[in-house]
Structure 1
């Protein structure tokens, strides 16, 4: 593992544990067992670290966006986009997702957050037809939320990360396909 990758991984851990705003470069360097000067050699600020992490993620998302530009948004192509995006999410892992989900206020004002929003909008535009009823549009967009939030929502479940991502992909695909959600009758104590 490269020093750059180690720094990114440790920074993500700390950002997820303490929050972006409450984590200092000193804490990152201490956890890594390196001096601040060594850390500065690779990254000049926390913002630089976040940019590097998000840039790696966005490069993979850009490939999906570029692929989608050459496709007609048929249900099959929309499902393929979700599968491709699911693979990117899986490869980036839970720490990045946890960081993004738990540090949304910081990401809203960070340049990296703007870049992520523009990419997500391109993905939304591919899977959600503006002519569809609002519930269908919402369901299509929520497919991405299923992928993003699954590591956090399922953290207390006895399942591997792969099992959680597989389930999240299944849920996301069912949302894109607009499949009915199975329902069980609600039991009540009232006769």
Structure 2
């Protein structure tokens, strides 16, 4: 077996472990899931599991890396683009797509905030969302325009957690999220609407 194939199979095993661990974390919660239970669900020994992940924290780090990579790539892409409405709309579209692929991991992070609060890197996604928010805001924007820009980001991000409770197909719901987010970013870009109660 070539080294490349061996690495590929190892990567498949790591992904399978992460996927099964994520299933259990979502079913039982992070604190209530043990490495033994993960090994049993995989039908492997704990020693085989330890070869890839020594702790549950290592599994979570792998999950974060998996979903963090596309967000970091999106931030890098956005920074290299002109600061236009089209770029902002594309940032939201790409984020919506990335979240669709990673929705179970984001749900796990949301549902297990207390258990994960003190782990290293717990502010990682808060920092990434701040960076995305900076990409969406027009330099010198009014407070109202900044709120609309940030709202467009929150619609896509937090809307991901509300989709399960809504009726409609997954495609319809994600398209609706993106449409509402685009409406907010369009309004932020157009700006100039008076703030209610403002002078």
Partner of 2:184: 175
Deviation at 1:107, TM superposition (A): 4.0
**Where does structure 1 lack aligned partners over 5 or more consecutive residues?**
181-191
Counterpart of 1:122 (choices 131, 137, 154) is: 131
The answer for the alignment partner of 1:166 in structure 2 is 175
Query: Secondary structure at the residue paired with 1:178?
Result: helix
| Equivalent-residue separation in structure 1 for 2:149 and 2:116 (angstroms) | 23
Aligned to 1:36: 46
Q: 2:41, 2:161 → 1: CA distance?
A: 23
Alpha-carbon contact 1:61-1:88 (below 8 Å) kept: yes
1:114, 1:103 → 2: CA distance?
14
Is 1:89 matched up with 2:99? yes
Q: Quote the offset at 1:48 in angstroms.
A: 0.8
How far apart are 1:78 and its partner, in Å? Answer: 0.8
Q: Secondary structure at the match of 1:111?
A: coil
Corresponding residue pairs, total: 179
Structure 1 vs Structure 2 CA RMSD: 2.4
Provide the residue aligned with 2:69 in structure 1: 59
Please report how far the alpha carbon of residue 151 of structure 1 lies from its aligned counterpart in structure 2 after TM superposition.
4.2
Tell me how far 1:130 sits from its aligned partner. 6.6
| Structure 2 residues without counterparts, runs of 5 or longer | 1-8, 191-199
Q: What pairs up with 1:4-153 in 2 under 5 angstroms?
A: 4-92=14-102, 94-129=103-138, 131-153=140-162
Q: Distance in 2 between matches of 1:31 and 1:110?
A: 25
* CA distance, structure 2, for counterparts of residue 47 and residue 4 of structure 1: 14
Q: Which whole-Å CA distance do the structure 1 matches of 2:23 and 2:145 have between them?
A: 36
Cα shift at 1:82: 0.8
